Amino acid sequence: MTRLSLIAPALALLLAAPLAVSQQASPAQPAPVAKAQPMPRHAAAPMDHAMHRRFMERGHGMGAMADLRSLERLYREAGRDREMTAIYQDVLAKSQDPRLRTYAYHQLARLQARPANIDQAAATLRKSLTENLANEAKMRAERERMRTQRAATMTQ
């Protein structure tokens, strides 16, 4: 027998084996398909991409966040990204959403650090940190209040 005459049956066996196994196994549930997140067309810091992805996964970012990202891209393409400073400050003045505020603080600090004004950028990030810690303490206190309230109703 020649080598070619041995390869053809072996190849047929390799191709048929998965079909035989799949017919014997019980039908499996199809694996959930993960939604592909489109990557932004502009180049941004890795932290920006991760933060943007978290916003999109949680259902945020469709309103003000999407508008901010679009404005950032337009201003960057026009070479006027320093003008975003006023927009971020406006968002901080108007928004109460902690995630949007954190994003605005981080982007503002990035712009402030660019011309080597590290002190101003650090002050902005410290302000963001203080605000986030205060929000976390409020949420923790609220959870504790609800926990004690639930415990009191269960003992009655």
pLDDT of residue 82: 85
Q: Contact 73/40 with Cβ under 8 angstroms? A: yes
Q: Of how many residues is the chain composed?
A: 156
Residue 25 and residue 97: Cα distance in Å, rounded?
50
Tell the burial category of 50 from Cβ atoms under 10 Å away from its Cβ (0-12, 13-18, 19+). exposed
Q: What is the pLDDT of residue 27?
A: 53
Question: How does pLDDT run across 75-113, given as a tens digit for each residue?
Answer: 889 988 888 999 999 999 998 888 999 999 999 998 888
Which token pair is 100? 């949007």
Show the DSSP H helices in the chain as ranges. Answer: 3-24, 46-57, 64-77, 84-94, 98-113, 118-155
Q: How much is the average pLDDT of 21-33?
A: 54
How far apart CA 150 and CA 144 sit, in angstroms, is: 10
CB 52 within 8 A of CB 40: yes
- Residue 141 one-letter amino acid: A
Q: Rounded to two decimals, what is the model's pTM? A: 0.50
Query: What ranges do the domains of the chain cover?
Result: 46-155
Tokens describing residue 120: 């101003």
Check residue 44 and report its DSSP letter.
-
pLDDT tens profile 62-77: 578 888 888 889 988 9
- Name the residue with higher pLDDT: 52 or 152: 152
Tokens of 57: 């996964």
CA distance 73 to 59: 21
* Average pLDDT across the chain, whole number: 76
Task: Return the amino acid letter for 109.
Answer: A
